[in-house]
Structure 1
Amino acid sequence: MYEVFPAIVYLLCFATSAACAWLLIRSYRQSGARLLLWSALCFLLLAANNLVVVFDLLILRDVDLRIARQLLAVAAVSILLFGFVWDLEEE
């Protein structure tokens, strides 16, 4: 019973990140604000990170995907930071 709760939490985190990315992409298409694009890309990578967490901790228990998870998280934050700096320079 207690083994089900982590799986539910990991899948809910993935679903939330993917839903945020989808909503941000939809808003970017309507408004064209580039900050929404950078945020959407960040959340896409965070959703991929959460999907790798599901595979790492629930499906492929023998394989260590910790480096892939960390690289996806760093890439997500780096893209958002890059977007902040780039949009700041153009104003």
Structure 2
Amino acid sequence: LETYREAFQMLDDLLAKRNSLKLTYESDIERDPFEGYGRMCKFLDIPPHPATIRYAKTNPYPLATIVSNFEEVQQLLAETPYAWMLKN
């Protein structure tokens, strides 16, 4: 996870002086995908058009029921910046 975070930090640094738009699933799509779509259209300076967004949560089950060593993973991530990933 730390390597993943470092790679994204490097990407953020490379894009810092460029005109760019950062979207994340949790902030821009999960609650209302049309908000992310609207931000993207505004960034690209194009008018939004009626859209059908077909998406669904791929895993409807609590992580604790599908990860066999969930308690171990939870303990390892508890005091890290990644603890949020275990919340349903």
Give your verdict on TM over 0.5: no
| Bigger radius of gyration | 2
TM range (shorter): under 0.3
**TM-score under structure 1 length normalisation:** 0.25
Pick 1 or 2: higher relative contact order, CA cutoff 8 A, min separation 6. 1
**TM-score under structure 2 length normalisation:** 0.26
Of Structure 1 and Structure 2, the greater helix share is in: 1
